[in-house]
């Protein structure tokens, strides 16, 4: 029977515990609270399933179990007991109320988590030392001090404002309170006032978490400042002998007490008051007139010089400049005048203004920038003076080589190829190369090279060279191979490829039907050596080509004439042929400008002023065998390389060993760019 009763008792015990309901628990526990001094604090507490005694503790000290809390006049408990509400009230809050509080259900043994009560104390109204009106002297640094006393919690910050804008440049200092005395905080604003600060209002604001809006104190600045002087002359620009009136105006606090006038540092005798009348002369340009005004705080001085007119005078001419390609180039010139002359920079022959002022800087110059640059000053208002001065810019760059047009040749007849070289500094060598080798000057087998100066181009281009390769007794291979004309200087190399055209005529004898240039009287001829020896004056009349195969171009197409140097040298793409002229020894014959050039085609180098050049006829007469008759429709086919590099040699052409040639001992031809 005992074994049967134990399970029954356990079941009854379990049923009894289940019918007892939930155990006591907290529905709401107090939270940390921040209140201002003098306001009311309320700490909330709510219990469930508990109807016993509830009490509050302050920093571990029990406040009592009664709801009116006897002995604590500012404390009480409120809320609906049936609902388990037991809120603690404190009013008005004082500094001593700042503590840790707990809500306890003593009969159930329950304690809430501790809630901290923080008491905030707003800052007192700050005070500005020396306020509400502070007297200052303009230009003298001063420290303005704002102070806030009291037991403010937390410690307030002090801020300075002017017209609603916070001011910087402040320092903060806090004084810890002594026993029985309140503490204080101070803020110092450092400023250097000016006359414009007279009457300005500054605000010092004390604010903290207890009073975010803060409390303000305003002060007004009263400034004393020395005179502020304005000096004017009427008229300011004068001719010598004209009358000028100077007016000296000043504002000051306290008022002005006196004026003093001077010219060039020397007092003007008899001058009194704010006005001075004088007759201007040239000395007023370099000896300014000054006015000094005084008051009780100090004095101020202002001066001005008159404009005595004269035209621009050149003081320093621009100097020639020589730079390598890619470098910067700078010119400078100096002009003197009053008023200051307007100085502009242009390029000779152009109207575009490149710059103004005493200096001109050309960044990263290229060959196209070479030339003469003009520094020009306009005449003054009087119309006198002014003028221009110029200097040349030379741009050193790798050689630019252009293959000139060459006449087609007969098989086993004479032929000639030509190239034009411009370079600064002058090239160390101009070399012709082909399959079998190369040749700089002189002869080698069937080949002969002659080099002579070319006419000078535009300003800054400098002299050039024309190199001619003569071939005697042409062979089949001459018409299929490429000939390369290359040049080198210290900055690099340049080259151009030329090829020899073949005449369609079957017989070389037909080549003798060439045009003779009237005026030959020195034995040089446009015919072959045989005709020169046997021909007479009567049969030297004008002869024209019977074979015009060399004149045939695409009539239907548009002839595009391109400047091979992209503006570097204005080279006309024509055949530079040597023929007889009226000058002894022959002349340089060039055709007239092309009549079929398309509109807007690039301009070309003009050789016309240089037709009087007389290279030695003997170099071309006996060795060349004949002279070609150039026509105006032959143009250079040259493609400007993207960058300067080795010459564009034909396939299979061995590289040119420049080292085999000694350095020339003669002066180099300089290209002025």
SS3 track for 368-422: HHCEEEEEEECCCCCCCCCEEEEEEEEEEEEEEEEEECCCCECCCCCEEEEEEEE
Alpha-carbon span 193 to 221, nearest angstrom: 9
The predicted structure's pLDDT at residue 210: 87
C-alpha triplet 555, 478, 483: angle, nearest 5°: 80
* CB of 358 closer than 8 Å to CB of 314: no
Q: Specify the DSSP class assigned to residue 233.
A: E
- Residue 456: pLDDT band (50, 70, 90) is low
* CB of 330 closer than 8 Å to CB of 266: no
Assess whether pLDDT exceeds 50 at residue 667: no
The predicted structure's pLDDT at residue 201: 93
Alpha-carbon span 39 to 57, nearest angstrom: 21
The predicted structure's pLDDT at residue 281: 82
Best CA proximity match to 526, nearest among 623, 414, 626: 626
Best CA proximity match to 467, nearest among 449, 486, 444: 449
* CB of 250 closer than 8 Å to CB of 228: yes
Provide the β-strand partners of residue 295: 256
The tens digit of pLDDT for each residue in 511-566 reads 444 333 333 333 333 333 333 333 333 333 333 333 333 333 333 333 333 444 44
Structural tokens at position 590: 């060039």
The predicted structure's pLDDT at residue 662: 39
Alpha-carbon span 185 to 158, nearest angstrom: 8
CB atoms within 10 A of CB 273: 9
* CB of 590 closer than 8 Å to CB of 556: no
Least confident window among 55-59, 86-90, 364-368, 665-669: 665-669
Assess whether pLDDT exceeds 60 at residue 460: no
- Residue 634: pLDDT band (50, 70, 90) is very low
Alpha-carbon span 428 to 426, nearest angstrom: 7
The tens digit of pLDDT for each residue in 375-407 reads 999 876 666 677 899 999 999 989 989 999 889
Structural tokens at position 538: 């009567």
The predicted structure's pLDDT at residue 172: 72
* CB of 222 closer than 8 Å to CB of 182: no
Alpha-carbon span 375 to 373, nearest angstrom: 7
C-alpha triplet 243, 245, 246: angle, nearest 5°: 140
* CB of 46 closer than 8 Å to CB of 28: yes
What are the counts of helices (DSSP H) followed by strands (DSSP E) for the chain? 4, 47
Alpha-carbon span 397 to 667, nearest angstrom: 18
Sign of CA dihedral 576, 451, 443, 656: negative
- Mean pLDDT value of segment 179-202: 83
On average, the pLDDT of the chain sits at 74
The predicted structure's pLDDT at residue 54: 93
The predicted structure's pLDDT at residue 384: 64
Alpha-carbon span 594 to 32, nearest angstrom: 103
Half-sphere exposure of 106 (CA within 13 A, CB side): 9
The tens digit of pLDDT for each residue in 139-186 reads 889 999 999 887 788 888 899 999 889 988 778 777 665 555 567 888
**Cα–chain-centroid distance for residue 496?**
39
CB atoms within 10 A of CB 146: 25
Q: Helical H runs in 529-576?
A: 529-534
* CB of 216 closer than 8 Å to CB of 129: no
Percent helix, strand, coil in the chain, to 5, is: 10, 40, 50
Q: Return phi, psi of residue 373, to 5°.
A: -115, 140
Q: Which residues contact 111 (CB under 8 A, 6 or more apart)?
A: 102, 103, 104
Share of the chain above pLDDT 90, in %: 41
Structural tokens at position 551: 């004149």
Residue whose pair of structure tokens reads 């003007």 in the numeric block:
268
Assess whether pLDDT exceeds 80 at residue 224: yes
The predicted structure's pLDDT at residue 613: 39
Is the pTM value of this prediction over 0.75?
Answer: no
If 0-12 CB within 10 Å is exposed, 13-18 middle and 19+ buried, where does residue 591 land? middle
- Mean pLDDT value of segment 72-97: 93
Least confident window among 106-110, 490-494, 583-587, 599-603: 583-587
Assess whether pLDDT exceeds 90 at residue 580: no
Structural tokens at position 97: 């109320």
* CB of 443 closer than 8 Å to CB of 432: no
Assess whether pLDDT exceeds 80 at residue 122: yes
CB atoms within 10 A of CB 662: 8
Best CA proximity match to 280, nearest among 243, 232, 323: 243
b vs e for 435-473, b when ≥16 Cβ sit within 10 Å of the residue's Cβ?
A: eeebbbeeeeeebbbbbeebbebbbbbbbbbbbbbbbbe
The predicted structure's pLDDT at residue 345: 95
The predicted structure's pLDDT at residue 609: 41
Best CA proximity match to 414, nearest among 208, 621, 232: 621
The tens digit of pLDDT for each residue in 347-359 reads 998 889 999 999 9
- Residue 58: pLDDT band (50, 70, 90) is very high
Structural tokens at position 147: 């102070």
Alpha-carbon span 211 to 36, nearest angstrom: 9
For 264-324, the three-class secondary structure string (H helix, E strand, C coil) is CCEECCCCCCCEEEEECCCHHHHCCEEEEEEECCCEEEEEECCEECEEEEEEECCCCEEEE
CA dist 602 to 256, 372, 398, Å? 75, 21, 23
Assess whether pLDDT exceeds 90 at residue 645: no
User: When comparing pLDDT for 2 and 581, which is higher?
Assistant: 2
45: alpha, beta or left, given left = phi > 0 and alpha = psi -120 to 50?
beta
The predicted structure's pLDDT at residue 307: 85
b vs e for 532-542, b when ≥16 Cβ sit within 10 Å of the residue's Cβ?
A: eeeeeeeeeee
The predicted structure's pLDDT at residue 614: 38
Which H/E stretch holds residue 283? Answer: helix 283-286
Assess whether pLDDT exceeds 80 at residue 87: yes
- Residue 61: pLDDT band (50, 70, 90) is very high
Sign of CA dihedral 149, 153, 155, 159: negative
104: alpha, beta or left, given left = phi > 0 and alpha = psi -120 to 50?
beta
Best CA proximity match to 192, nearest among 127, 262, 144: 144
Alpha-carbon span 182 to 142, nearest angstrom: 28
Q: Based on C-alpha coordinates, what's the Rg of the chain?
A: 53
Q: Specify the DSSP class assigned to residue 502.
A: B
The two beta strands, 483-489 and 429-433, are antiparallel
């Amino acid at each position: 029977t005992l074994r049967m009763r134990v399970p029954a008792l356990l079941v009854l015990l379990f049923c009894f515990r289940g019918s007892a309901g939930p155990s006591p628990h907290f529905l709401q526990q107090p939270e940390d609270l921040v209140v201002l001094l003098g306001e009311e604090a309320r700490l909330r507490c709510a219990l469930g399933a508990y109807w016993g005694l509830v009490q509050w503790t302050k920093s571990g000290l029990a406040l009592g179990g009664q709801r009116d809390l006897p002995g604590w006049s500012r404390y009480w408990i409120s809320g609906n007991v049936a609902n388990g509400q037991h809120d603690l009230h404190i009013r008005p809050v004082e500094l001593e109320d700042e503590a840790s509080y707990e809500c306890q259900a003593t009969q159930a043994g329950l304690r809430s988590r501790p809630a901290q009560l923080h008491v905030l104390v707003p800052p007192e109204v700050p005070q500005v030392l020396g306020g509400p009106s502070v007297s200052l002297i303009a230009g003298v640094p001063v420290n303005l001090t704002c102070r806030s006393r009291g037991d403010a919690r937390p410690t307030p910050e002090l801020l300075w404002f002017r017209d609603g804008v916070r001011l910087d440049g402040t320092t903060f200092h806090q004084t810890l309170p002594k026993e029985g005395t309140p503490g204080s905080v101070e803020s110092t604003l450092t400023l250097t006032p000016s006359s414009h600060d007279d009457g300005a209002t500054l605000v010092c604001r004390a604010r903290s978490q207890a009073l975010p809006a803060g409390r303000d104190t305003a002060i007004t600045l009263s400034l004393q400042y020395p005179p502020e002087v304005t000096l004017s002359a009427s008229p300011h620009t004068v001719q010598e002998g004209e009358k000028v009136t100077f007016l000296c105006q000043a504002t000051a606090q306290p008022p002005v007490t006196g004026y003093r006038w001077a010219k060039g540092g020397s007092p003007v005798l008899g001058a009194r008051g704010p006005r001075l009348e004088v007759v201007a002369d040239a000395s007023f340009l370099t000896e300014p007139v000054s006015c000094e005004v005084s008051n009780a705080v100090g004095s101020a001085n202002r001066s001005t010089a008159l404009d005595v007119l004269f035209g621009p005078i050149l003081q320093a001419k621009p100097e020639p400049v020589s730079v390598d390609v890619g470098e910067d180039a700078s010119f400078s010139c100096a002009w003197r005048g009053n008023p200051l002359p307007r100085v502009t920079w242009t390029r000779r022959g152009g109207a575009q203004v490149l710059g103004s002022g005493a200096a001109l800087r050309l960044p990263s110059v290229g060959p196209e920038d070479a030339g003469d640059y003009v520094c020009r000053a306009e005449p003054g208002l009087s119309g006198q003076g002014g003028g221009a001065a110029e200097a040349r810019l030379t741009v050193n760059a790798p050689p630019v080589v252009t293959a000139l047009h060459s006449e087609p040749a007969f098989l086993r007849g004479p032929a000639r190829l030509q190239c034009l070289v411009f370079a600064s500094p002058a090239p160390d060598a101009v070399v012709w190369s082909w399959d079998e080798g190369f040749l700089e000057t002189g002869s080698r087998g069937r080949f002969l090279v002659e080099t002579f100066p070319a006419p000078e181009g535009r300003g800054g281009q400098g002299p050039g060279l024309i190199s001619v390769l003569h071939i005697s007794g042409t062979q089949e291979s001459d018409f299929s191979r490429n000939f390369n004309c290359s040049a080198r200087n210290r900055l690099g190399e340049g080259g151009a490829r030329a090829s020899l055209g073949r005449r369609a005529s079957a017989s070389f004898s037909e080549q003798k039907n060439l045009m003779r240039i009237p005026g030959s009287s020195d034995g040089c001829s446009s015919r072959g050596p045989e005709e020169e020896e046997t021909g007479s004056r009567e049969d030297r009349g004008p002869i024209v080509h019977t074979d015009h195969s060399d004149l045939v171009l695409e009539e239907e197409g548009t002839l595009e004439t391109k400047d091979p140097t992209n503006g570097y040298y204005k080279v006309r793409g024509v055949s530079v042929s040597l023929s007889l002229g009226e000058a002894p020894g022959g002349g340089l014959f060039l055709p007239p400008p092309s009549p079929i050039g398309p509109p807007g085609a690039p301009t070309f180098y003009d050789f016309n002023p240089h037709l009087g050049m007389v290279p030695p006829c003997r170099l071309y007469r006996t060795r060349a065998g004949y002279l070609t008759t150039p026509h105006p429709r032959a143009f250079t086919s040259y493609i400007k390389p993207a960058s300067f590099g080795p010459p564009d040699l034909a396939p299979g052409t061995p590289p040119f060993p420049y080292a085999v040639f000694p350095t020339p001992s003669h002066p180099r031809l300089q290209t002025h760019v």
